[in-house]
Chain A
């Protein structure tokens, strides 16, 4: 028993055991932006000290890794199937509702330097209201970054048509502005694409609005 006392928590065993146990807690790095410095957790490499009983959960961990891998692969495949399905559905919907020979699509792009808060765009085709879109800050930011929004898709017969677009927004110095632009276009065979371009007008310090016909 006495000899056991001297063995009680001898510094080295204790600290060694402690270190073994605590290494994963010490060395696991933070997530971002540390790139997977999952300096492999020590427990799997350290020989388990029988008397310590501070069992590094080596066994469950190994199982978990195996399970994780096959589950993960299965989930990846499933996700891919969902993406494929989503794509096929998207394709079906557009081919069904807006076949190429009658399709007309209107896009919106913004290329402005100072900040313009676009509030809404209203579209009329041949004097019918076809779209009234409200913009959120997130969407405006997406446009400013260079995204081009497909605002509207519809069907039109071959021949001459007119598109009128009204847009409302807020410019620098909290000034409100309202503009309109229009275009006559010929719908032939094949899809027709029109682009509403919001650009800077340097001198006038306000946005300009033009419509481009992508022949």
Chain B
């Protein structure tokens, strides 16, 4: 598998550091990965940085991309940008994108939200209950949930540029994932 970062320009040394990090990450499968796949996604309700409260279960019937991020994490910015693009493309087909900020200081998240405007809601998980429920250990982590509310894919890295990512989103939209 190749390491591709089409959005972020990285200097040589950082590139290798990231490679090493990625390799290390690849070997280790987090509790989240092994525990959540094919299980119902834990429901939650969170306030948004801008706008109304959001409850995950209200989106049952639509595929949901749930991305955990933090303003301190550099890869997260690229992730959010990529997600914004996907949202623009597949929104009319019913895709839902939610970003959950794992931040101690909610003001940072709000400021970040204002400066990196996205068309999907940025949610604030101040008590960290939701990130704990999803077993988040690394950022960015993205969880792909199907129309029935079941976790299908989980990525603990920045793979938003990867074509397989898009294929997964499309599969969720078409719900061609096999028997219920």
A residues adjacent to B (C-beta < 8 A):
119-120, 133-139
B residues adjacent to A (C-beta < 8 A):
45-47, 52-55, 58
Q: Do A138 and B58 have beta carbons less than 8 Å apart?
A: yes
- Bound complex: CA of A134 vs CA of B52, how far in Å? 10
A-B contact count (CB 8 A): 21
Residue in B closest to A120 when the chains form the complex, CB atoms: B53
- Bound complex: CA of A119 vs CA of B52, how far in Å? 8
Q: Do A134 and B58 have beta carbons less than 8 Å apart?
A: no
> Which residues of B are found within 8 Å of A120, using beta-carbon distances?
53
21 interchain pairs, CB-CB under 8 A: A119-B47, A119-B53, A120-B53, A133-B45, A134-B45, A134-B46, A134-B47, A134-B53, A134-B55, A135-B45, A135-B53, A136-B45, A136-B52, A136-B53, A136-B54, A136-B55, A136-B58, A137-B52, A137-B53, A138-B58, A139-B55
> Which residues of B are found within 8 Å of A119, using beta-carbon distances?
47, 53
> Which residues of A are found within 8 Å of B54, using beta-carbon distances?
136
> Which residues of B are found within 8 Å of A135, using beta-carbon distances?
45, 53
Residue in A closest to B51 when the chains form the complex, CB atoms: A137
- Bound complex: CA of A83 vs CA of B52, how far in Å? 32
> Which residues of A are found within 8 Å of B53, using beta-carbon distances?
119-120, 134-137
- Bound complex: CA of A120 vs CA of B46, how far in Å? 10
* Chain B nearest CB, measured from A130 CB (Å): 15
Residue in B closest to A118 when the chains form the complex, CB atoms: B53
> Which residues of A are found within 8 Å of B47, using beta-carbon distances?
119, 134
- Bound complex: CA of A137 vs CA of B47, how far in Å? 12
> Which residues of A are found within 8 Å of B55, using beta-carbon distances?
134, 136, 139
- Bound complex: CA of A156 vs CA of B55, how far in Å? 29
* Chain B nearest CB, measured from A212 CB (Å): 26
* Chain B nearest CB, measured from A166 CB (Å): 15
> Which residues of A are found within 8 Å of B52, using beta-carbon distances?
136-137
- Bound complex: CA of A136 vs CA of B55, how far in Å? 7
* Chain B nearest CB, measured from A57 CB (Å): 27
> Which residues of A are found within 8 Å of B46, using beta-carbon distances?
134
* Chain B nearest CB, measured from A102 CB (Å): 26
> Which residues of B are found within 8 Å of A138, using beta-carbon distances?
58
> Counting chain A CB atoms within 10 Å of each CB, which of B46, B53, B54 scores highest?
B53
* Chain B nearest CB, measured from A132 CB (Å): 9
- Bound complex: CA of A181 vs CA of B53, how far in Å? 23
* Chain B nearest CB, measured from A167 CB (Å): 13
* Chain A nearest CB, measured from B50 CB (Å): 14
> Which residues of B are found within 8 Å of A139, using beta-carbon distances?
55
Given A134-B45, A134-B46, A136-B55; 13 other pairs, CB 8 A cutoff: A119-B53, A120-B53, A133-B45, A134-B47, A134-B53, A135-B45, A135-B53, A136-B45, A136-B52, A136-B53, A136-B54, A136-B58, A139-B55
* Chain A nearest CB, measured from B36 CB (Å): 22
> Which residues of B are found within 8 Å of A137, using beta-carbon distances?
52-53
- Bound complex: CA of A148 vs CA of B87, how far in Å? 35
- Bound complex: CA of A139 vs CA of B54, how far in Å? 11
- Bound complex: CA of A134 vs CA of B44, how far in Å? 9
